[in-house]
Structure 1
């Protein structure tokens, strides 16, 4: 099944890859190890999973403004997500994605959290403001 969904561009770029989905907001400061890309927040549903080279699908981010710099550090360490899709991009993750050069969109025209599962493939084209869902 393929489905193209309109979104709003936050950070430019085009990527394709496997998604990692969470229905919980994610804090990068204290929630993700920038050296490995692993989620280290023991209370989060993605605990122990790795964001590296995945397209992260989240409802939103949360936490301290330093989270932007964690995303930037992840990009420098080559442990950052390949792209980010958020239902609502709050300023912390949006700023981090822009600084790190990670393609990001938000406001998808459908509830992607109810459709996507870990392992699905996604084409994120922030320049065209679309995502293409390719079910596994």
Structure 2
């Protein structure tokens, strides 16, 4: 049985410029940076989070955004310094926490999409983020 690929494009607004590619890490829950992630591994540590124990390191993080204190940005900044940051961030709720977190993480980041990313992007899809062009290409393999 041969595999086919399908590519879907969504457009959005650039928060931090750049281009990155990686497998999608999708969560419909916000993430608490302060005490909610392990910066050394990029794993979510929040007790009740649906992706607890899983790492977003090197993946395209698709999530609603940040919750908790402004210390959120410090932990995501540490992921950049430790090499465990996501490859890119796609989020749906713009707050000052997520904006600052995206800037200090220094990975391509986008928001304000023309389509709901939670309906388009599945966990594990190959995602190419061109934040400068406001373009996200989602490629999935179908068998």
Give the structure-2-normalised TM-score. Answer: 0.91
Query: What is the aligned partner in structure 2 of residue 42 from structure 1?
Result: 47
Q: Does the Cα contact within 8 Å between 2:66 and 2:72 map onto a contact in 1? A: no
Query: What is the aligned partner in structure 1 of residue 93 from structure 2?
Result: 88
Alpha-carbon offset, residue 135 of structure 1: 1.6
2:14 corresponds to which of 1, 9, 13: 9
Structure 1 residue runs of 5 or longer lacking an equivalent are none
Aligned pairs, number: 136
Query: What is the aligned partner in structure 1 of residue 57 from structure 2?
Result: 52
Corresponding position: 1:100 with 2:105: yes
More strand by share: 2
Specify the structure having the higher radius of gyration (Cα).
Answer: 2
Secondary structure of 1:96's aligned partner: helix
**Runs of 4+ in structure 1 displaced over 2 angstroms?**
none
Structure 2 residue runs of 5 or longer lacking an equivalent are 1-5
Corresponding position: 1:33 with 2:38: yes
Alpha-carbon offset, residue 62 of structure 1: 0.9
Give the structure-1-normalised TM-score. Answer: 0.96
Alpha-carbon offset, residue 100 of structure 1: 2.1
